Chains A and B, each alone.
Chain A
Amino acid sequence: MNRSTRVFRQLGELVLVALAVSMLTFGLLSLVPGDPAIAVIGQNNITPELLEEVREELGLNDPLPIRYANWLGDVLQGDLGRSERLNQNVADTLKERLPVTVEIMLLSMIFALAIAIPLGTFAAYRAGGFFDKVITALSFGLLSLPSFIFAIALIILFAVKLDLLPATGWVPITKDPLGNLRVMVLPVLTLGLTEAAVYTRVLRSDMIGVLQGDFIGFARSKGLPVRTILFRHALRPASLSLLTLIGLQLGGAIAGTVVIEQIFALPGLGTMLFSAILTRDLVLIQGGILLVAIAYVVMTSLVDLMYVLLDPRISRD
């Protein structure tokens, strides 16, 4: 199979899975008891005639497949419905909330990589040594630490004891970039350090394999400095698993930020979904879950595609 068929097949699969995801999102929420029409009319002014009229108007009397098709058509045109509670279009709400979540995700990822790349590389270079043991133990411990406990520990240390950083209080980046960064420090530390622990472990184990390769021995016998060997020659082939992981995490991280956003009161997708769940704002939940799940599916496919494009050996089998 050549490369372009492979790419097309991947894209076809992506469309299929995305369709299945949308079906499931729609199906799950139509199973939820309670009549959306009642939410539109309001609990106090219900009459049977009015209810029937609104149901007809909203298309709630149509069979499920037709309702799904209508809904999907709207979604494809960017219309995710309207949240009566917020009195706002779901698409607009998502657009408003997404940047906050993306900012947390990207900042913590950059922070995590800045820590994990040097630590993982050096741990692998002296595998089994003291430094390696400390790094391995630390990352194991961090991975066993639930994020909300870690967040509380950081709040105790930096906000309560040292009084250095704010624990809550959102500042938009457009208003005050520096103030925004100050608010972001604790959430990013919480997420980033945990991610760094995962990245370090993954990079370390790949790097140990790469460092045993012949070309590393060759580079060494040429007398190249260790730093050049590690970061110029070994890092690239050793980073394939790391890249996969980053891709998967970028897709899944939106969900992972719920707790962090909640603890630090950040107005991102996570807090939005959480309050939508508590108030049973079905249309908003539907839109939110669809966005998160599709993001995940797209990122997984991108990772697979990236393999095909980066590594010609994969498309041969």
Chain B
Amino acid sequence: MISRFFQRINDGLGLLFWLAATWLIVVLFCAAFGTLLPLPDPDRTQPRFALQPVLTKGHVLGTDPLGRDILSRVIAGARVSVIISVVAVTVGVVVGGIIGTTVGYRKGLLERVTMIITNVLLSFPSLILLLGVIGMVGPSLKTITTVIAVLSIPAYIRFARARTLSLSEEGFVDAAEMFGTRKRVIVFRELLPNVFATLMTFGLLALGGVIVAEGTLAFLGLSIPPPTATWGSMIAEGKSVIDRALHVAIVPSTVMFLTVLSLNLVGDGLRRHFDVRETAI
């Protein structure tokens, strides 16, 4: 019985992969339709019912120091995490992918300048840049998403360029050139779809990174201002009452960990399934 269970994990994408994918679908569902669920208002404070433990009637996951329902807040936080990570990664993949593929194919001075700039940008500590810029412009859903997206572009440029260089050695690019296809068409029609396919699996792993980045910002008090629920700010609130009620920190921490773990499992599973080499960077 147990050995058959392990065998299932080993063949195909495996049980773990599907468990992780299911969790991600639940998170996505909560982000999209969370407000329609019959749950208490996530921002409604009830000081009389502060710090109710898990499995209290009416508050399955308990309440926080202000008496707000933790389940509602976790679900509201899912929306923030999903929006920021999906938008930031999509922008990064598209912009970085196009730039990286173009310079990787066209080569020449443009490529060299772009790569020097990219390398310089990559040598800046991204977390500190993120903190710095957010500290200057003020935190909001829009600024955080934009800044994370912009800061992630250099990494995608590097990845897309490396992928383009190895793709250029394959026959189909030569074939297109021999037909006299224009360079721009080669970039957008021949190379980009291939580069995007690789960047997608990379992007799945990056989604987790963005969720952690937002969480870190929120934990340091630099995310979307209260009362908006985000996982990171919930964890920070939980830390301040850690000696009185553990669940306030543990519930959002577990949710964030499971989400990042699931993204890594799904990303890693897909990467291995399509055999994309990490060393291609």
Contacts and interface: CB of A to CB of B under 8 A. Distances in A.
Interface of A: 16-17, 20-21, 24, 32, 140-141, 143-149, 152-153, 155-156, 160, 252, 254-256, 258-259, 262-263, 273-274, 277-278, 280, 285, 288-289, 292-293, 296-297, 300
B193 interface: no
Given A21-B124, A156-B246, A149 B253 contact: yes
B243 A145 contact: no
B120 to A, nearest CB: 4
A149 B119 contact: no
B132 to A, nearest CB: 5
A293 B125 contact: yes
A274 B123 contact: no
Interface residues of B, number: 38
Nearest to A19: B120
Interface in B167-220: 208, 212, 215-216, 219-220
Given A144-B261, A280-B136, A285-B132, A259 B216 contact: yes
A262 B220 contact: yes
Interface in B211-256: 212, 215-216, 219-220, 235, 238-239, 242-243, 246, 249-250, 253, 256
A145 B257 contact: yes
Given A254-B125, A259-B216, A141 B131 contact: no
A289 B125 CA distance: 8
B216 A289 contact: no
B281 interface: no
Given A156-B246, A293-B123, A273 B220 contact: no
A20 B121 CA distance: 9
A259 B219 contact: yes
Given A21-B123, A255-B128, 13 more contacts: A20-B116, A149-B215, A152-B239, A152-B242, A156-B246, A160-B242, A160-B243, A256-B127, A280-B136, A288-B128, A292-B128, A293-B124, A297-B123
A93 B53 CA distance: 45
A212 B17 CA distance: 30
A144 B136 contact: no
Contacts of B120: 17, 20-21, 24
Interface of B: 116-117, 119-121, 123-129, 131-132, 135-136, 208, 212, 215-216, 219-220, 235, 238-239, 242-243, 246, 249-250, 253, 256-257, 260-261, 264-265, 268
Contacts of B219: 148, 259
Given A258-B128, A289-B124, A148 B261 contact: no
Contacts of A262: 220
A236 B242 CA distance: 45
Contact of A296 (B125, B136, B243): B125
A252 B125 contact: yes
A165 B216 CA distance: 24
A153 B249 CA distance: 9
A232 B170 CA distance: 42
Contact of B123 (A145, A148, A259, A296): A296
5 contacts: A21-B123, A32-B136, A160-B242, A160-B246, A277-B131
Contact of B264 (A143, A149, A259, A277): A143
A259 B215 CA distance: 11
A156 B123 contact: no
B235 A152 contact: yes
Contacts of B264: 140, 143-144
A188 to B, nearest CB: 19
A292 B260 contact: no
Q: Across the A-B interface, give the 7 residue pairs with the lowest CB-CB distance, nearest first.
A: A255-B125, A144-B261, A277-B135, A146-B212, A149-B253, A20-B120, A144-B260
Contacts of B261: 140-141, 144-145
A137 B166 CA distance: 32
Given A141-B261, A146-B215, A255-B125, A274 B235 contact: no
A153 B129 CA distance: 27
Nearest to B209: A146
B35 to A, nearest CB: 26
Contacts of A20: 116-117, 120
B109 to A, nearest CB: 16
B220 A274 contact: yes
Nearest to A161: B246
Contacts of B117: 20
B135 A17 contact: no
A155 B127 CA distance: 23
Nearest to A254: B125
A160 B238 CA distance: 13
Given A140-B264, A148-B235, A152-B242, A277 B257 contact: no
Contacts of B220: 259, 262, 274
B123 to A, nearest CB: 5
Given A20-B116, A259-B220, A289-B132, A146 B125 contact: no
Nearest to A259: B216
Which of A21, A149, A258, A262: most chain B CB closer than 10 A?
A149
Contacts of A289: 124-125, 128-129, 132
Contacts of A252: 125
B243 A277 contact: no
Nearest to B236: A148
B249 A255 contact: no
A227 B39 CA distance: 60
A26 to B, nearest CB: 13
